[in-house]
Amino acid sequence: MFYHLDGIVDTVENGMAVIDVGGVGYVCNISVRTETKLRTLIGKKQKLFTYLSVREDAMELFGFADKSELSMFKLLISVSGVGARTALAVLGAVAPEKLALAISSGDVKVIKAPGVGQKTAARIVLELKDKLARDFALMTETADGAGETFIIPADKSGKFSEAVSALTALGFSRAETESMLRKTDIVNQSLEDIIRTALRGAAK
């Protein structure tokens, strides 16, 4: 299984990129979001996180600009009726952090993409919202190996748990999520601003 490719961006076309790694060109299917980024990097070195799809009749490699997009892609293709192409379409239309927020808050209207109707959007929310909630519950009910607990601030609105669900869906670990939210004003910010602030802090 490939985890990432680290090489020169050789070619970027509609929905496809070729990454040259040591003289071997790897063809990757990509989202519009990743394509936009790679078009500015042709001829330069870039890392793409990858997912290898293996079927009876084909093997396809999918490439992503960052871990959050890869994590969300894996979640999307776990939904019944959502294939890799549909997942790429969704990620091309909605940024991973906004998609995670929409799923966590049950906002079906945000999930829009070519070929994705209201029924598919509703199924994505239905199947993934509970999964994100279960992941959050597992994170908060036990201490880690170092004996540290995940302290939840008083938040009757539920914004904290929804923010944690969204951030873990983007691939951040329990420790990373705790650190990001500990530095964020949970009470006085909207849920979207909480996630945006946490992501800005993680990028520093």
Q: Is the confidence at residue 28, as pLDDT, over 90?
A: yes
Q: Is the confidence at residue 136, as pLDDT, over 60?
A: no
Q: Which residues of 75-112 are buried (b: 16+ CB within 10 A; e: fewer)?
A: bbbebeebebebbbbbbbbbebbbbbbbbbbeebeebe
**All domains of the chain, ordered by start, with CATH?**
4-65 (2.40.50.140), 68-203 (1.10.150.20)
DSSP 145-157: TTS---PPPP-TT
Task: Quote the pLDDT of residue 21.
Answer: 95
State the pLDDT confidence band at 173, using cuts at 50, 70 and 90.
Answer: confident
Contact criterion met (CB below 8 Å) for 26 and 19: yes
The arithmetic mean of pLDDT across residues 113-129, rounded, is: 89
Tokens 């539920």: give the residue: 158
pLDDT digits 0-9 by tens, 2-23 = 789 999 999 999 999 999 999 9
Report for 73-87, 143-157, 176-190: range of highest mean pLDDT = 73-87
| Token digits of residue 5 | 């490719």
pLDDT digits 0-9 by tens, 185-195 = 777 788 888 88
pLDDT digits 0-9 by tens, 54-108 = 887 888 999 999 888 998 999 999 999 899 999 999 999 998 888 888 888 888 9
Give the least confident one: 125-129, 135-139, 156-160.
135-139
Task: Quote the pLDDT of residue 133.
Answer: 61
